[in-house]
Every structure is written in C-alpha cells, then in structure tokens.
Structure 1
C-alpha cells in the first residue's frame, strides 16, 4: 500500500513538474515568436526606407546606368571616378575652391564632404570649413576626349544660428 501511494505521489510530482516545464517552453516560444514578428516588421520598414532613400541615387537608376553603358562605359569604374573627381578638387592652393563659390570664413579650407551622384547628369554635394556648411548642385558631362567636366548649377550656404 505504501509503495502504491509513493508511486502515485511520484507520478503526480513528475506530471506537475513536466507540465510546468512545458508551460514555460510554450511561454518562451510565444515571446520569441512575438520578438521575431516585431523584428520582421522592423526589417520591412527599414527596407522600405532604404528603397525611398536610394531613389535619387545613380546605383538605383537603371536609365542613367543604361545611358553610360550604351556609350561603352563601365559604370562600376566610372561612378567612383566621377566622385573622386569632385573629392580631388579639395586639393587646391589658395583661398578659392575650384567649384565651391564661397571662401572659407575660418582658418580651415572649404572641403567637399559628401557626394551623391543623382543620375547621369547631376550631382549634389555638401561642403564645410569646419564651422560653416553648405551644399552645391553640380552638373557633369564626359566630353569627346573622355574628360569629366563639372559645372556648378546652384549653391547655398546655411545661415549660422547665434546662441
């Protein structure tokens, strides 16, 4: 009789313990599925945002890439060359930047920081002298001798905020 009661108690203990473990696993699975769903939503939102941000970018512009490819250019080499051409303008002597129409108002030189090639004709870039910031809108073309020609179209300097 004692053996039977002991066995029943042992079985009840095993059942309750197993049920608690299974309930804990179920709860953990629900939490993980919830986190996974949130992560998937975040990834989807970031993919959509990335798509929107890359809209005005030559890498996502098939028409602009096709334009260069039709002329026989390798776009994987040409686009970095276009960007490097503007960055190389940062190596200048004197006060006048070759394409930025402002003169530095500090002891530093005006430098182009960030460049985005929009398509097969236009570039937007920002510049700074460390204290003052601005942007330029540049058109570019490749002449018959395969030389890059940049032309300043529009520019602006952000006003400073006096504190």
Structure 2
C-alpha cells in the first residue's frame, strides 16, 4: 500500500512538472510573439511620427541651408549662426508686447479693453516669420517680414494679418 501510494505521488509529481513546463514554455513563446508584434507596431509609429516631424519642420530656418547661408557676409566675414539668431529675433519681436497699445506687429488695432500680444512666433526662413496673437477674446495670425540691419538691430514689417471670428 505504501509503495503504491508513493508510485501514485511520483506519477502525480511528474505530471504536474510536465504540465508546468508546458505552460511556462507556451507562455514564454506567447510573450515573445506579443513583444515582437508590439515592437513592430511601435517602430512603425515612430517612423510615422519622425516623418510627420520632418514634414512639420520643413519650413523652418533650422532645416533651410540656403536661408542660413544668407546670414553669412562674405565681404566682412561676419556670420550670424541661426541657433543664436532665432531666439534673438523672437525676443525682439516679443519685446513689443510691452507696448501699452499692444504689439504693433500683429497688424490689428485694439478692439476691446485688452491689447493684442504675440504668443508664439516661428521663423520660417531668412525673411519671414509667422506668429500667433490674441487679446484674450480674439485670436489671429500674422505673417511678418524681418530684416537684420547692419547694427544688428531687427526691423519688422507686417505682410498680412488675419483675425478669426469668435
């Protein structure tokens, strides 16, 4: 009786080990397959996002070598790197937000009690800037032309401005 009990326990232990081994080996294979599918999907998503980011940055001074070369003066050997130029021009444009009547380069007169200020600006190339502005109630966008003068001051000119309906 004792021998048969040990035999049954031994067979039961072997069966449990076999089933446990099969379960964990199948689970490992399933997890590897699932991870492969997820990493492929994430790789495709990453490629898609990188492509969209490259398309979004196409019209920018950072990606435009011809516009960057414009700031190299061969006669004087003077060069303005775009990494310093972009924040400098943006800061000069934002400085006009302190004007009591609002930023004059929004292309809009003050409509209500609040003044129009520029929130965000993007330098497109060596000549153009697109900017977003608002007064808290009305929103709009403006296309500006900018020039770097010989004394390194910046002058702006409004090309066109649009204000959105409420």
CA distance in 1, matches of 2:39, 2:153: 52
CA distance in 2, matches of 1:89, 1:124: 16
Instruction: State which of 19, 24, 28 in structure 1 corresponds to 2:22.
Output: 19
Instruction: State which of 139, 144, 149 in structure 2 corresponds to 1:138.
Output: 144
Instruction: State which of 101, 112, 120 in structure 2 corresponds to 1:106.
Output: 112
TM-score, L = length of structure 2: 0.86
The alignment partner of 1:159 has SS state of coil
Counterpart in the other structure of 1:90: 97
**Is the counterpart of residue 122 in structure 1 residue 125 in structure 2?**
no
Q: Return the offset for 1:33.
A: 1.5
TM-score, L = length of structure 1: 0.88
**Contact 1:97 1:103 (C-alpha < 8 Å) held by counterparts:** no
Instruction: State which of 57, 63, 67 in structure 1 corresponds to 2:66.
Output: 63
Q: Which segments of structure 1 move beyond 6 Å, counting only runs of 4 or more?
A: none
**Aligned length, in residue pairs:** 159
Gaps (5+ residues) in structure 1? none
Q: Within 5 Å, which residues of 2 pair with 1:34-73?
A: 34-70=37-73, 71-73=78-80
Gaps (5+ residues) in structure 2? none
C-alpha RMSD over aligned residues: 1.8
CA distance in 2, matches of 1:105, 1:23: 70
**Contact 2:128 2:144 (C-alpha < 8 Å) held by counterparts:** yes
CA distance in 1, matches of 2:130, 2:141: 7
